Amino acid sequence: MRPRVILHADMDAFYASVEQRDRPELRGKPVIVGGLGNRGVVTAASYEARPFGVRSAMPMVEARRLCPHAVFLPGRMHRYGEASRQIFAIFTGFTPQVEPLSLDEAFLDVTGSLGLFRTPVELAARLRARVREQARLAVSVGIGPSKMVAKIASSLCKPDGLLEVPAESVADFLRPLPVGHLWGVGPVAQQNLARAGFATIGDLADADAARLRAAVGRQAPALQALARGDDDRPVDPGRERRSYGEENTFAADVRDGDELRRTIVAHAEAVAARLRADRRAARTVVLKLKLAERVAPGKYRVLTRSHSLAEPTDDGRAIAAAALALWSAVAPGKRIRLIGVAASNLGASAPAQLSLLDRPADERGRALNRALDDISARFGHGALRRGGIAVERAAPTLAIKDRPRS
Ligand SMILES: [Mg+2]
């Protein structure tokens, strides 16, 4: 059988690059995007910030210490969403087999599209050029016979790179790499494996099965298969967004009911606006709370509660009402560190004229929603909230089927 040709396309420092594209004065400067409060987290760091040690998911306080002269920005999700849609439209122009992993990252199975190009590298170069021309952004592309190899290749050729690993070179490519490049091997697992004598992927590929099992338990066979380059998972274009969420960590723990209520409403409106932008409606509302109760060093008690509505909705008030009811049922008076609202159980939003809710009051609600969306589109997300509520912009969350994020 002819080997599959899979691309892993990943935008470079996506949010920070969009900011540098839109604001030329930021080009060449370290730009850090994320939550700007005391407990905020970095969501993207431009390549100019990385030599200082700044990485995404790092606490913002640490990023400020490492790179105090950087430009710090709260992020503009609507702008990143626009860029994302544009990029995915380009991807699907090359193949219908596109599996999104996040707003800025996807697998593409291009096996069936190669006839139009001399080589996989030529196809990938054309894709990169098109993203560069149309979105004015850089995308790195790894090419391999499997998802795993394509993803590792793209991570090694960043930024603005292209790397092909042909099927016959996979073993030579993988063997010298640290085990942390394998899927599912995080920093802690990497340390444990190194201590057990497995530093490189080659060490794992050659490992005695019993010894590896002693080190990693039940996952041993799967890990060894990956280390040997066995990964036949197909690119799955059926994967869909599973939930829309917004959350924030407070600068100081909050107990005050009014502030919590305002934050829940603001999150609900932001979630609803994103649902409407994607023409989706959600049936289940999820409230996530991190209490100021430490259960272990650096770990806090997390409560998640959900409520299913009678009808799917894309309305901020309906989502807020459900989230507020959940909050008053579980945690009134408790000190809260983080609060999040998400909408899941998604479907396409119903055409207005067919909705059972099509009554004058709802028509007014819909008109108000449209007006809010127009204002957001013109002045930036968060320019206006119903009732004048504004909260510090929080980190949006995105969950994709089979890969739920905590
Ligand atoms: Mg990326």
How many angstroms separate the CA atoms of 375 and 102, rounded? 26
pLDDT band at 1 (very low <50, low <70, confident <90, very high): low
Query: Is the pLDDT confidence value at 285 over 50?
Result: yes
Query: Is the pLDDT confidence value at 126 over 60?
Result: yes
Find the 10 Cα to ligand 1 centroid distance in Å. Answer: 5
Higher pLDDT, 124 or 297: 124
pLDDT of residue 353: 32
Average pLDDT score over residue span 165-189: 91
Find the 60 Cα to ligand 1 centroid distance in Å. Answer: 19
Higher pLDDT, 372 or 298: 298
pLDDT of residue 248: 85
For tokens 């983080």, the residue is 338
Residue 286 makes CB contacts below 8 A (sequence gap 6+) with 243, 245, 304, 305, 306, 340, 341, 342, 343, 344
pLDDT digits (tens, 9 = 90+) for 386-400: 433 334 334 455 444
Find the 80 Cα to ligand 1 centroid distance in Å. Answer: 12
Find the 349 Cα to ligand 1 centroid distance in Å. Answer: 29
Find the 40 Cα to ligand 1 centroid distance in Å. Answer: 20
Cα 367 to chain centroid, rounded? 31
pLDDT of residue 394: 44
Higher pLDDT, 352 or 287: 287
Find the 341 Cα to ligand 1 centroid distance in Å. Answer: 25
Query: Is the pLDDT confidence value at 368 over 60?
Result: no
pLDDT band at 373 (very low <50, low <70, confident <90, very high): low
> Domains in the chain and their CATH numbers?
1-164 (3.30.70.270), 175-227 (1.10.150.20), 241-400 (3.30.1490.100)
Average pLDDT score over residue span 164-184: 94
CA distance readout (Å), 355 to 167, 313, 362, 364: 52, 11, 10, 14
pLDDT of residue 392: 38
392 is catalytic: no
CB 320 within 8 A of CB 268: yes
**Residue among 99, 105, 164, 247 flagged as catalytic:** 105
pLDDT digits (tens, 9 = 90+) for 314-349: 999 999 999 999 998 887 788 999 999 999 988 876
Q: What percent of the chain has pLDDT over 90?
A: 53
pLDDT of residue 399: 45
Query: Is the pLDDT confidence value at 132 over 70?
Result: yes
How many angstroms separate the CA atoms of 138 and 164, rounded? 17
CA distance readout (Å), 287 to 29, 127, 302, 327, 348: 38, 40, 11, 7, 22
pLDDT digits (tens, 9 = 90+) for 19-65: 999 999 999 999 999 988 877 889 899 999 999 999 988 899 999 99
pLDDT digits (tens, 9 = 90+) for 48-59: 999 999 998 889
Find the 91 Cα to ligand 1 centroid distance in Å. Answer: 15
pLDDT of residue 173: 97
pLDDT of residue 400: 42
Q: What percent of the chain has pLDDT over 70?
A: 85
Find the 122 Cα to ligand 1 centroid distance in Å. Answer: 22
CB 221 within 8 A of CB 378: no
Question: For the chain, what is the mean pLDDT?
Answer: 84
pLDDT of residue 350: 53
pLDDT of residue 372: 55
pLDDT band at 122 (very low <50, low <70, confident <90, very high): very high
Find the 140 Cα to ligand 1 centroid distance in Å. Answer: 8
Find the 120 Cα to ligand 1 centroid distance in Å. Answer: 21
Asked which of 155-164, 182-191, 247-256, 394-403 is least confident by mean pLDDT, the reply is 394-403
CB 133 within 8 A of CB 120: no
Q: What is the pTM of this model?
A: 0.66
pLDDT of residue 369: 59
